[in-house]
Structure 1
Amino acid sequence: MQQQPNKLRPFFENLNFERDDNTMVINFGPQHPSAHGQLRLILELQGEQVVKAHPDIGYLHRGIEKMAENMIYNEFLPTTDRMDYIASTSNNYAFALAVERLIGLEVPRRAQVIRTMLLELNRIISHLFFLATHALDVGAMSIFLYAFREREYAMDLMEDYCGARLTHSAVRIGGVPLDLPEGWLTKLTDFIDRLPEQIKLYEDLLTENRIWKMRLEDVGIVTPEQALEWGCTGVMLRGSGIKYDVRKEEPYELYGELDFDIPVSDRCDSYGRYRLYMEEMKQSVRILRQLIGMYAGTESQLMAHAPQYISAPKEEIMTQNYALMQHFVLVTQGMRPPKGTVYAPTESPKGELGFWIRSEGEPYAYRLKARAPSFFHTGILQDILPGTYIPDVVTIIGSTNIVFGEVDR
């Protein structure tokens, strides 16, 4: 039988599989489990070394800032949970603080104590999640299980207070919705008594572990100049030797009255940032101990008294006609803050989280912008990844501690 000519042969003969520059472009994510949400990282490789990196964002985009401009202020507050969903209360609080400064509200003392407790408990929850997932990305399995164990105990405390474990909505504009449940402070005390021993366990497993140090030391160098140029905050800034924390520089709630330190490292690498997260958890324990002592001496009021903006207590709504009418108007039509512009920065577990609001006196924000730390810490990847290798990419992304809910707003 006569063999038929291969019509594809001329095509194959013209293919050239060799390139002069010998580079390759790959996608790291958005499906990669180490991509922290929906990060698509376009890497240009020379062998296994990164030559160029381009973070491509937008896959998770939900238009939260535009949603805020089409919701009344109280209606938008639960939506903030969906930004940094690892530390929801920090988002709730940052938005509530911005609105309170816009309308000039003073929050009752007991509400301030409870809010600060929840913020620091959230910080511990977020840092434990960072430690667990960062270690797992690098290849340490046991620490993932141990850190999640303590995180579950902390989330039990959040659930006891607000009924939710992930999306809390535990803060209100003007205060907090609930007082601490009976026995909650005892459970909190037990938790912070146990936590330092567990942090020591984490450190014993990791800090001097030769594999951990090989993977983190001198990897992901962020110089002080780079940190400032890219707008880094939180551990990403303090890990480069710059001592800046919003809780100290622009105190809010009770941070101006509390005694705590701001850990700083001049290592500028992933290992230095890891050490800072461990130290920050210890400082949060120190803060919570002081807050437990402050709670007993406060009055029972939980919400600010401002009928124009805040609903009356439930007892008054159920018994007084005017309070009921005012509540109905606030729920259906929303508050009307004065015209003006405000920006309120806070120190979230990942860095400076702030909301900028422009009000035209309507129940909706005319413009709202969120200053989220993960957005800036994603951008710096294009500056610090070139020159590293593929295994280092996983380590560096983990050490930046980004969450894409607050990147793709």
Structure 2
Amino acid sequence: MVLNVGPQHPSTHGVLRLELITDGEIVKEVIPHLGYLHRCFEKHAESLTYQQTIPFTDRMDYLASMNNSHVWVMGVERMLGIDKDIPKRVEYIRVLVCELNRIASHLIAIGTYGIDIGAFTPFLWCFRDREHIMGLLEWASGSRMLYNYIWIGGLYYDLPVGFEERCREFIEYFKPKMVELNQLLTENQVFIDRTANVGILPMDLAINYGCSGPMLRGSGLKWDLRRIDNYSAYPELDFDVPVGKGEMGTVGDCWDRYKVRVDEIAESVKIVEQCLDRLQKELKRTPDFDPRAKLPRKITPKAQDYYMRGEGSKGELGFYFIADGKSEVPFRAKSRGPSFNNLSVLPEIAKGVMIADLIAIIGSIDFVLGEVDR
């Protein structure tokens, strides 16, 4: 029998259509159909200036918009040769807001994954805690989801007065909440039975399909671009890279991918605390601090091809620029969305599973369709 899952099915996490070829309850083949949420990002990027494109990067992975604009901006800064001139305070604020956004994105991944499998309370808890982060980021940028906050050469605004103190209050509130969430969901035997030894993704298959982020680390490979490429302020920060260890089943199963995201939230909390310490003790705000760089009116990089990548909440987010040296509009801008590669491995790891297990596998991938279709 041929079954359709989506494009409006809640378990597909967006407008994705999966065509299933089944034999009773067993899935013989999965054929994803894309294109229901095409953002036209690359065409927009080739029609607008580098600065004007930043709001469109926000709309790709709209659950972690800060990370998208951070990578785009770093690519333009390196092409212009001004990446070494970015003030330290700006770099630490960028990392701070990106890690807060990463926590918010992972909370959605964990909460919606619980509800896919039938656990309703963790979903409400995750959205309750994410709301605090949305409030903080809205205070800093004026927007809850699509921020346009990280600009070429700096930031749109400095952090509001009192932001660091409020952020620290949130961290102190949030730490015990994650302990509660782990007791309720991570150590729940029903949840473990539904996710352990399901959707096993071997490391070599993950590498061959170009998987990245928690998908790749869940398969046991310690690969995090914040450590590998050492961009922005990350080389000066202390944090670990969690990987799947097969604690409840097999390395690379759904439970491992889920657990990597839970552990990454704890690491992001450590990074946020270190950024707050630096911002409050060494990189204090001064009356003469201007978060906006004095850039020329027209941002025109030299003629070159350049690829910039960074660790988004879903994995390796990259932008490939072709600049002609004459125009402030890129000749070509190609985006590499991690969700696309992560989703592409679904037909391989979903062969021969039950339909109910397919839903568990889809949720463990944590993709955003705005980034898949771009």
Answer yes or no: same fold by TM over 0.5.
Answer: yes
Structure 2 counterparts to residues 190-229 of structure 1, below 5 A: 190-229=169-208
Contact 2:156-2:292 within 8 A present in 1 as well: no
User: What residue number does 1:315 align with?
Assistant: none
Superposed displacement of residue 63, structure 1: 1.5
SS, match of residue 169 in structure 2: helix
Aligned length: 362
- 1:116 alignment partner AA: V
Contact 1:107-1:304 within 8 A present in 2 as well: no
User: What residue number does 1:93 align with?
Assistant: 70
Superposed displacement of residue 190, structure 1: 0.7
Contact 1:107-1:303 within 8 A present in 2 as well: no
User: What residue number does 1:127 align with?
Assistant: 106
Between stretches 112-121 and 31-40, larger displacement belongs to 31-40
Contact 1:263-1:276 within 8 A present in 2 as well: yes
SS, match of residue 126 in structure 1: helix
The correspondence for 1:232, drawn from 211, 222, 228, is 211
Give the alignment's TM-score, normalised by structure 1: 0.87
User: What residue number does 1:343 align with?
Assistant: 307
SS, match of residue 306 in structure 2: strand
Superposed displacement of residue 303, structure 1: 4.1
User: What residue number does 1:378 align with?
Assistant: 343
- Compute the RMSD of aligned alpha carbons: 1.2
The correspondence for 2:4, drawn from 11, 24, 27, is 27
User: What residue number does 1:175 align with?
Assistant: 154
- 2:171 is aligned with 1:186: no
**Distance in 1 between residues matched to 2:34 and 2:204, nearest whole Å:** 25
**Distance in 2 between residues matched to 1:100 and 1:44, nearest whole Å:** 48
- 2:374 is aligned with 1:398: no
The runs of 5 or more residues in structure 2 that have no matched partner are 246-250
Superposed displacement of residue 306, structure 1: 4.8
Superposed displacement of residue 208, structure 1: 2.2
Flag the structure with larger Rg: 1
**Distance in 2 between residues matched to 1:171 and 1:215, nearest whole Å:** 40
User: What residue number does 1:152 align with?
Assistant: 131
Structure 2 counterparts to residues 2-401 of structure 1, below 5 A: 24-105=1-82, 106-266=85-245, 267-296=251-280, 297-298=282-283, 300=286, 301-303=289-291, 305-308=293-296, 330=297, 334-361=298-325, 362-401=327-366
- 1:344 alignment partner AA: M
**Distance in 1 between residues matched to 2:115 and 2:293, nearest whole Å:** 48
Runs of 4+ in structure 1 off by over 6 angstroms are: none
- Deviation digits for residues 86-132 of structure 1, max 9, x if unmatched? 11111111111111111111311111011010010011100111111
- 2:316 alignment partner AA: E
Superposed displacement of residue 80, structure 1: 0.9
- Deviation digits for residues 270-301 of structure 1, max 9, x if unmatched? 10111111111111111111111111322643
**Distance in 2 between residues matched to 1:304 and 1:345, nearest whole Å:** 23
SS, match of residue 371 in structure 2: coil
SS, match of residue 52 in structure 1: strand
- 1:187 alignment partner AA: R
- 2:69 alignment partner AA: N
- 1:279 alignment partner AA: D
**Distance in 2 between residues matched to 1:182 and 1:260, nearest whole Å:** 27
The runs of 5 or more residues in structure 1 that have no matched partner are 1-23, 309-329
Superposed displacement of residue 59, structure 1: 1.3
